[in-house]
Chain A
């Protein structure tokens, strides 16, 4: 299959070159998905299917044009290439447009273990049973857990193929699976939901259904009867899932496209101290088995590890070829795109390095503050750094979690938050392509009553 798709991609590039393109690049994505969801032990949905698509980007001199289609027949490809060539007549001359230099192209040759055939070998019955067990474990955990939004098991595999007119052709296969459950707890007039999920590239790495069910149950129970605390300034502890969200804002702020457009509060700060001493942030697409790993980026440049923030000093932006040229730098192998269009910027495994204290010790160190376990809304601007989001979690009094809190917001500015990280936990774990240990932020504004 991979040979066939690589041939299709190469021939699409050749078609474009024959039609007068000066350069061309082609992406093919193929994937299949399976998902079963249950609620109260009964199957709700069972979905299984696959699809594929192809996209092309052509250059006519310094003008780019893109097109995509789900029709991979020879006629479909011809129509797509013709369409992209037409589009390249109406776009503008862009002196910075272009493919990566030949010397930068390549793939890392370590086996990144992105595909595991154990995912495919699990029977549908076994998948259903796992979802059932995750949900029933959560429902059995406490009489106050009376309802459920269900549980699901999802799995998928796919292949990504890329070819360009500078001699690059490559493909890689990947797999993933996940188990998820959402219990609902009720006590008096308080009703809350929470969830837990485990996901991995290999079936063997998934947490057990019992573990998923127990964690979901513990999370929902501690939310019952929340209070709305008074408006105040206080220390904020972000649990590692919420700290991931914080790291994702840093990614947006370090995205080369925002840097050259000066639409990030971190633009122009290379080499400057932007965070506390202990903060080190890494982007590494080369760690085997993880969700953010890739042998080559979406322009055919090998993935590589880079230290983004080193002990509080900004060392690198995240760049594709275009943003690198705009900034007079070299691509960091972070090109990312769907099927077509100009490449954007993505991440490998983007994580805050772990510190030396446990999450428990961090909570114990807080006299009065807010342990945040959920954030909603998107009130974060990487242009200004302004940060304001809805929050829920637990109140900390003298180092102890004393009662649940909800219907409040936490607010501040990313610039200040980076300089006020007072503690970094030792509990780093990779659940997706972004990861962070628990973080203690010295002071933010909690808005409540």
Chain B
């Protein structure tokens, strides 16, 4: 597809000439680089609560962000009106960061090579509302039917279609159509007048409704119910340092918190990350290889092109325990000379891009998952987590376990209640002593927050054994 057939050209009559005009205006006061980012986002949300479709919402937002970089300084302005006057006004505001004649020669725009990592046959937003409502109803009914102890179910369906276009003063012009669809189910169960327990499950990605033929709404519900039921029998979680086995998939959030954020180049060029200046050093056990890969088919964290017009790629962060590199964006590239890794992302046109993760996971090892569990005398098996957080300077991170079991004499035994696990980024992965061959990626509902900007991400991990980490329970 050529630019003239792209969404913004067709819908708003945007031309290359317009884009060059905006870039020229952005660089009118000088500066080393400028880009304009167009975004058009349409969303649909449907919620079933207490067995009825209580709410549904559709919406549209659009806007343009203009950025000017001068040295290490960034000027930014945006407009929610796509008229040339308002965009030129935003360019003028952003240009105030620079002073003096522009140092760059603009060379016209070249369309970047295109690919499609998320081909969607029928976009969710092109399907009738009734059809999408029917999917959520299936999820809700399956949760109710799964177990008599379930007394509350909330099922949420959400889809979004985002059209973006980036034009840069270094001549790149790229555009992308980014679908996103997901379904979440939350179930509450209780026995008699006992304390209720909550289970939660979700799934999705850069997919259309065909996704739910394989990952059925029923399967999402059954998983949510299963988790709630497991917790009904849970005992107090233990407290203190112990051996922990993480199950495959979503527990990969460990990598996101323990190393991912600490390897984002903005923190590192400023020297404020616990990983700063440690490329080439051992930061994990030799069993650990961690990558961030924005090129995976149809996954939630994937991007054909990042929000600065750079193609996403597979980046090796840690190879056999050795720190290999950081996740970088165009600003870091200008300052450090290290090529952008295609990690420049932003929440919306109202936000300045920064280095972010896409899909972060650990490569599979050689151990049999059962043998990993059998090797533990006394410890914990964590199958699921809610979320996590990190202090990138001290390196301390937490992640919140929601489905956890005791391991006693090499066997997974009783479920325990939710507990926070805490560790230190550059140290925690040194205690990884076994890595399973069962790499699994999460189900596609992850959201990552940084400096108030929220972007979709993916994580993944095989079963791993960590010899020592602190578990924040209340028991002995």
Contact = CB atoms under 8 A, between A and B. Distances in A.
A46 interface: yes
A448 B271 CA distance: 28
A138 B338 CA distance: 31
B430 interface: no
Interface in A365-424: 374, 376-379, 381, 383-384, 386, 388-390, 392, 406-413
A197 B96 CA distance: 27
B47 to A, nearest CB: 8
A89 to B, nearest CB: 8
A341 interface: yes
Nearest to B75: A46
Contacts of B196: 262-263, 383-384
B352 A47 contact: yes
A342 B47 CA distance: 10
Contacts of A97: 54
Interface stretch (B102-110, B288-296, B394-402, B454-462): B394-402
B63 A69 contact: no
Contact of B472 (A42, A381, A384, A389): A389
A48 B93 contact: yes
Nearest to B386: A378
A67 B72 CA distance: 41
A436 B406 CA distance: 37
A55 to B, nearest CB: 7
A52 to B, nearest CB: 7
Given A90-B130, A447-B470, A66 B56 contact: yes
A184 B470 CA distance: 26
B237 A263 contact: no
B161 to A, nearest CB: 15
A83 B188 CA distance: 33
Given A49-B79, A262-B188, A447-B471, A379 B58 contact: no
Interface string B368-400: 000000000000000000111111011011111
A445 interface: yes
Interface string A203-245: 0000000000000000000010010100100000000000000
Contact of A376 (B57, B133, B398): B398
Given A86-B129, A410-B472, A46 B198 contact: no
Nearest to B276: A191
A43 interface: yes
A90 B420 contact: no
B57 A70 contact: no
A408 B471 CA distance: 9
A161 B101 CA distance: 44
Interface string A2-28: 000000000000000000000000000
B74 A389 contact: no
A411 B474 contact: yes
A77 B475 CA distance: 57
Contact of A409 (B78, B197, B398): B398
B54 A340 contact: no
Contact of B53 (A69, A91, A147): A91
B16 to A, nearest CB: 25
A311 B394 CA distance: 40
A378 B49 contact: no
Among A47, A51, A445, A447, residue most surrounded by chain B Cβ atoms (within 10 Å): A447
A264 B422 CA distance: 26
Pick from B195, B272, B274 the residue with the most CB of A within 10 Å. B272
| Interface SS of A by simple majority | strand
A228 B424 CA distance: 11
A87 B53 CA distance: 11
Contacts of B240: 231, 447-449
B63 A91 contact: no
B90 interface: yes
Interface in B236-291: 237, 239-241, 270-272, 274
Interface residues of A, number: 77
Given A70-B61, A376-B389, A388 B198 contact: no
B10 interface: no
Interface in B44-93: 45-46, 49-50, 52-63, 72-80, 90, 93
B423 interface: yes
Interface string A57-100: 00000001111111100000001100110110011111001000
A68 B396 contact: no
A231 B475 CA distance: 10
Contacts, number: 249
B130 A392 contact: no
Contacts of A46: 73-76, 96-97
A193 interface: yes
A342 B52 CA distance: 14
Contacts of A91: 52-56
B56 A90 contact: yes
Contact of B396 (A55, A339, A390): A390
A379 B420 contact: yes
Contacts of B394: 191-193, 223, 226, 392, 406-407
A411 B239 contact: yes
Nearest to A416: B474
Given A39-B270, A231-B240, A66 B474 contact: no
Contacts of A42: 72-73
B237 A69 contact: no
A193 B272 contact: yes
A98 to B, nearest CB: 13
A49 B61 contact: no
Contacts of B198: 263, 381, 383-384
A149 interface: yes
B76 A45 contact: yes
B473 interface: yes
Contact of B59 (A51, A68, A94, A379): A68
A147 B417 contact: no
A82 to B, nearest CB: 10
B302 interface: no
Nearest to B421: A409
Contacts of B350: 49, 51
B470 A448 contact: yes
Nearest to B52: A92
A390 B472 contact: yes
Contacts of B431: none
A53 interface: yes
B272 A408 contact: no
B418 interface: yes
Name the residue in B80, B388, B417 with the highest tally of chain A Cβ atoms < 10 Å from its Cβ: B80
B396 A376 contact: yes
B55 A64 contact: yes
Nearest to B385: A379
A261 B474 contact: no
Of A39, A46, A49, A376, most buried by chain B (CB within 10 Å of CB) is: A49
19 contacts: A45-B74, A46-B96, A47-B352, A53-B80, A55-B59, A69-B59, A70-B60, A149-B393, A192-B394, A261-B188, A377-B398, A377-B422, A392-B394, A392-B396, A407-B422, A413-B474, A445-B474, A447-B239, A447-B473
Interface of B: 45-46, 49-50, 52-63, 72-80, 90, 93, 96-97, 129-130, 133, 151-152, 188, 195-198, 237, 239-241, 270-272, 274, 350, 352, 386-391, 393-394, 396-400, 417-420, 422-424, 470-474
Given A45-B73, A149-B270, 18 more contacts: A45-B74, A46-B73, A46-B97, A80-B60, A90-B53, A90-B129, A94-B54, A376-B397, A377-B388, A377-B398, A377-B400, A379-B419, A381-B418, A390-B422, A407-B423, A409-B472, A411-B239, A412-B474
Interface of A: 39, 42-49, 51-53, 55, 64-71, 79-80, 83-84, 86-87, 90-94, 97, 147, 149, 184, 191-193, 223, 226, 228, 231, 261-263, 265, 339-342, 374, 376-379, 381, 383-384, 386, 388-390, 392, 406-413, 445-449
9 pairs of A and B residues whose beta carbons are closest in the complex: A409-B472, A377-B398, A92-B52, A390-B398, A447-B239, A193-B393, A68-B59, A231-B240, A379-B420
